[in-house]
Amino acid sequence: MTRPNTLLLVAAALLIVAAPGTLFADGALLSPGAPLAQSVTPDPVITVTGSADANNPASVGELYATGENTVTWTDSDTTEPPGYHDLWERIRAGFKMKEIDTPLVQRHEAWYLNRPEYMQRMVDRSRRYLYFIVVELEKRGMPTEIALLPMIESAYNPTAYSRMRASGIWQFIPSTGKKYGLQQTWWYDGRRDVLAATRAALDYLQVLHDTFGSWELALAAYNCGEGGIQRAVAKNRAKHKPTDYFSLKLPKETRNYLPKLQAVKNIVADPSLFALGLDHIPNLPYFTIVKAPTTIDVVMAAKLADMSVEDFRNLNPGHQRPVITPVANRELLVPVDKAELFHANLENNAQPLVTWQTYQLKQGEKLDTVANKFGISVQRLQEVNGLTAGKRTRVGQMLLVPMEEDDTTTNLDETYNSAEFKAPADDYHGRVVYRVKAGDSLASIARRYKTSPELIQQWNGLSGTTLRTGQRLTIWQEARHRHHLARR
């Protein structure tokens, strides 16, 4: 592997000035919750250990019964493979992509060299997810460099949210997430779900690789969209020019994308060269899957696993509300060494699993009717459910309400006003469907909705700029623009 001169790299680092967070996302913390009261009988629990799909574990592992309500899954990847006592070693052994040695790579190496604390935080977050991702990559025969991709996408922050409305460690935008099966509701966002989003991201990358014939172009398309790469390739072909990543005219961010990944890869490959130590990560699973009861407070689930709410949320960021309901019921992740404790505590629990419940709006019901029914103010009901005065409710809509008339003993104050439990309003309520009129172009529609033609193409899977009259386009709008535009 080609390496830049270390002294030159250090000198370059001292000259480079970049605002922290400009290219990367960082995370926020939650505080632990409070104790609960009242007894609820827990549902039977299925525990699945390992990194396989809990819906079909027998396809990749061996099932054996360990109790009436418990099934444990194991496979060869749950023990250290010979020769790999550290997960970084296993990652290095799977590197397959072509090496890049350009000034852009050195610039990004210097960026990290100047920010060792940032690098440390990113690596600390990644240790929760890396083993699972590496196993998934190996199953598919994909380069393990891809396990480093969330470092440049989200800094491994599972709740990262970008100005382009991309979310999660893999930074899916809403439309691509839905295309690859990631459900997105007010209760649950599959783009944040570590298991679902990782599998969707690898599915997407494999499709891009099959389409463009190289991992370099696949990653470029992951960054700027399939349409952008297809157009760039077509232009070069028309001019009889090469169509590899380095020969294409690409947006600035995409030109930096692979060099940035190469910079991280170089650091992982030889951290001593950069005077940046990488803490040991065991080549063992970090988390396991436990089947959640039908309804449970996030605070209570964390308590049963003897975890802080912060740690529990880091493993289960797809659950966007402080209560896990049947609407958002998925597997829960807990550290491997907490699974038995979670199960035992659930079976012996004498406290309620929920201190609030869901309520479905009936025909003709308004928020003030529901608020009076449960003895809380309309304002309180709105803020708990992320509603604004101008947002309409609909028949059948699910609302969070306290279990008792007096909600002072619930966990609402622990969590409902935390940004971690609030879905961005523009993401879930900012969808505009526009019908193309005669004379419209992508550029004119983009100006009208204060966005870019490229984003409209991404959101709608357009490979070109041609529109037809009557065509419907999905446009995602920030909350501050939405009401004004809807009146046009």
* Residues classed as catalytic: 153
Q: How many CB atoms lie within 10 A of CB 357?
A: 16
How would DSSP label each residue in 272-297? Answer: GGGT------BSS--EEEEEPPSSEE
- The CA distance from 40 to 381, in Å, is 24
Q: Round the CA-based radius of gyration of the chain to a whole number and report it.
A: 24
| Phi and psi angles of residue 319, each rounded to the nearest 5 degrees, phi first | -80, 110
In the numeric block, which tokens belong to residue 409?
Answer: 């003993």
How far from each other are the two terminal CA atoms of the chain, in whole angstroms? Answer: 57
Q: What is the dihedral of CA 346, 186, 171, 53, to 10 degrees?
A: 40
Whether 358 contacts 372, CB under 8 Å? no
Token representation of residue 390: 């101008």
C-alpha span between 449 and 478 (Å, rounded): 10
**Helix (H) or strand (E) segment spanning residue 131:** helix 130-140
* Helix boundaries (H) for 66-129: 87-93, 103-113, 116-126
Neighbouring CB atoms inside 10 A of 469's CB total 10
